[in-house]
Amino acid sequence: MPDALFADPRLARLYDAFDGPRDDLDPYLSIAAELGASSVLDVGCGTGCFGTLLADAGFTVVGVDPALASVDLARAKDSRVRWIHGDATSLPPLQVDLATMTANVAQVFLGDDWEATLRGVREAVRPGGHLVFESRRPEARAWEDWAAPTTRVVDGVEEWRELLGVDLPFVSFRHTYRFGDGTEIASDSTLRFRSRAEIEQSLVACGFEVVDVRDAPDRPGRETVFVARVSAEPASTR
């Protein structure tokens, strides 16, 4: 079930404004070029920020997201991209060169849905193709920063964040939005913080080879970028 921030039409329309400039996406464009990709599947495409950047750069793009309100906004942004309402476990037949999961996407999968997503991605990526995604490092303890009260106002809408709980590997928090008419809408989120070893093991179990593990250039020391290739061996059925 997608968080209200992405699934509620009133909140989804605010997402880009509150998210601000997406400088974190530029490294993914560079990696796509580095890997020689021409077609990209953006898993958890949201409102389509990265899919549109990819299309502008000449890539053939498919974006998928379970939040219909976000997908509708993405469709309105760019008709060059094939936008799909759904998730990586129910994709139509694809054979892309590269799949991506930017921002928090890899951490929203809290249980067996993580492995199910990896297997779905593997089916959508051609042999020898790649998966690239980032994940926060548990040792950086990002949730300690989230515990500090924060309030922002954008386009007349007030937003504040509160940490709801830390029960590692799970961290839960809430964003609340107050509109000019006094309406308040809350969006609760939970992320799973996996260790590097846990992530690498899950990739191998689901039919990938880990070919590179990098420091995230926009958050050095705090996030890791994983580059994995579809293995020649079939995925484990464990």
Q: How many CA atoms lie within 13 Å of 232's alpha carbon, on the beta-carbon side?
A: 0
Nearest to 190 by CA among 116, 124, 109: 109
Kindly indicate whether the domain formed by 4-137+195-230 is annotated with CATH number 3.40.50.150. yes
* Interatomic CA distance for residues 90 and 75, integer angstroms: 19
Residues 149 and 219: their CA atoms lie apart, in Å, by: 21
Architecture of the domain delimited by 140-192 = Single Sheet (2.20)
Q: What is the mean pLDDT of residues 144-170?
A: 93
β-pair type (125-136, 223-230): antiparallel
Kindly tell me the burial class for residue 238, based on how many C-beta atoms sit within 10 Å of its own C-beta (0-12, 13-18, 19 or more).
Answer: exposed
> How many angstroms separate the CA atoms of 47 and 16, rounded?
8
Alpha helices of 57-208 — where are they, by DSSP H? 68-77, 113-124, 143-146, 196-205
% of the chain exceeding 70 in pLDDT: 97
Q: What is the tens place of the pLDDT at every residue in 96-149?
A: 999 999 999 999 999 999 999 999 999 999 999 999 999 999 999 999 999 888
- Whole-angstrom CA distances from 202 to 70, 103, 150 are 28, 19, 35
| CA pair distance 138, 195, nearest whole angstrom | 6
First to last CA, the chain: 26
Q: What is the pLDDT of residues 202-233, one digit of tens each?
A: 999 999 999 999 999 888 999 999 999 998 76
Which residues belong to CATH 3.40.50.150 in the chain? Answer: 4-137+195-230
Neighbour tally for 49: CB within 10 Å = 23
Q: Could you tell me where the beta strands, DSSP code E, fall in 50-183? A: 60-65, 82-85, 96-101, 125-136, 150-154, 157-167, 170-178
For the stretch 51-72, pLDDT in tens is: 999 999 999 999 999 999 999 9
Question: What pLDDT does 235 receive?
Answer: 54
Domain with CATH 2.20.25 in the chain: 140-192
CB within 8 Å of 188: residues ≥ 6 apart: 3, 4, 164, 172, 173, 174
Contacts of 149 (CB under 8 A, 6+ apart): 160, 161, 162
